[in-house]
Amino acid sequence: MDIKVLGSGCTKCKTLFKNVEEALQTTGTEANLTKVEDIIEIMKLGVMTVPALVIDNKVVLSGRVANTKEIIEILNK
């Protein structure tokens, strides 16, 4: 599984990244987790509002911070 957290490095983006890390640890899910802060790369994915969460090249969340419980639900889908 390839997971990307998109954002400029703001507090919300950092919080989303931390919540994704916690969700992965809680579920024991193996994933390649990366932060993408390059605005050009973010725009290539069609994201206009950050933070955003991309799983396997599909935008699953944009414009808000999901809590750990919500991320676990997304991972289980």
C-alpha of 57 from chain center: 11
pLDDT tens column, 7-61:
988 999 999 999 999 999 999 999 999 999 999 999 999 999 999 999 999 999 9
Q: What is the mean pLDDT of the chain?
A: 96
- Asked whether the beta carbons of 9 and 45 are under 8 A apart, the reply is no
Structure pTM?
Answer: 0.93
Domain boundaries, the chain: 2-76
CATH of domain 2-76: 3.40.30.10
